[in-house]
Amino acid sequence: MESALTDQVQLDLLHHTRHAIAHLIELFPAEFGWERLIPADARTLPQVPEKLGQLYQEIEEYCSSLAVKFDHDWHWSLMWRQQLSLKTLADRYGKDYVIGACHPRIRKFVAQIYIEELDPFMQWFPWSWFSDMQFIGAGGFSAVYAATISPPYELESTRVALKVIDDKLLNEVVSLYFSLFVVGCCWLL
């Protein structure tokens, strides 16, 4: 009985956090790179850090009210990553609308992500979150950089490897999939 109650408390906490994060994304879509998906009032932009801090405190207090120890990674970072996944955005706004809100150069690629059902694992990172890019090397259709990513919802920046791929590779990935799909379908028949 106690385990079921604990599970229900955790589910309530996750639902509450997801809803609060989704609301904040809708209030400040430009901060998360989705201004083409969700229209917003430009006057709200200076409030983003303050609102994020308030939400963080609210989630901590909500955990405390449920007698759950707040875990930054589980109750905050993971929830943000899930809410910014292409799957969650498609569930909320529709795949076609999400694809249409993407830069024209990557629309085919994002559409392919949905076809391949990779959307739960793909998160959108706007260019504005990256800084201190240092070129490491290039070859074929891409270049690799060391960079710092600073999502507005995180307390600290993180060093990452960033691979910038050429349009030719994006087109090739999409074409390769269609070729394999057609061959696969013919093979199955």
Cα–Cα nearest to 114, from 132, 88, 139: 88
Domain co-membership, 67 together with 6: yes
Domain co-membership, 132 together with 79: no
Domain boundary among 50, 69, 84: 84
pLDDT of residue 103: 85
Question: What residue type is 65 in one-letter code?
Answer: S
Stated as kind and residue range, the H or E segment containing 156 is none
Please, what sign has the CA dihedral across residues 179, 182, 187, 188?
Answer: positive
pLDDT of residue 114: 94
pLDDT of residue 18: 93
How many structural domains does the chain have? 2
Domain co-membership, 10 together with 71: yes
Domain range holding 45?
Answer: 1-84
Domain co-membership, 15 together with 71: yes
Domain co-membership, 13 together with 65: yes
User: Is residue 131 included in any domain, yes or no?
Assistant: yes
Domain co-membership, 3 together with 80: yes
Please provide the average confidence, as pLDDT, over all residues in the chain: 82
Cβ atoms within 10 Å, residue 125: 15
What are the residues facing 139 on neighbouring strands? 142
Ligand-binding annotation for 163, yes or no, is yes
User: Is residue 95 included in any domain, yes or no?
Assistant: no
pLDDT of residue 172: 55
On the CB side of 140, how many CA atoms lie within 13 Å of its CA?
9
Please, what sign has the CA dihedral across residues 92, 94, 99, 102?
Answer: negative
Please check whether residue 38 is in contact with residue 92, taking contact to mean a CB–CB distance below 8 angstroms: no
Please check whether residue 165 is in contact with residue 141, taking contact to mean a CB–CB distance below 8 angstroms: yes
Domain co-membership, 11 together with 70: yes
User: Is residue 107 included in any domain, yes or no?
Assistant: no
pLDDT of residue 176: 47
Per-residue confidence of the chain (189 residues) as pLDDT tens digits? 567 667 888 889 889 999 999 998 888 888 888 887 887 665 555 688 889 999 999 999 999 999 999 999 999 999 999 999 999 999 999 999 999 988 888 888 889 889 989 889 888 888 889 899 999 998 877 888 899 999 999 989 999 988 877 766 555 554 444 433 333 322 222
pLDDT of residue 20: 93
User: Is residue 106 included in any domain, yes or no?
Assistant: no
How far is the C-alpha of 60 from the C-alpha of 58, rounded, in Å?
Answer: 5
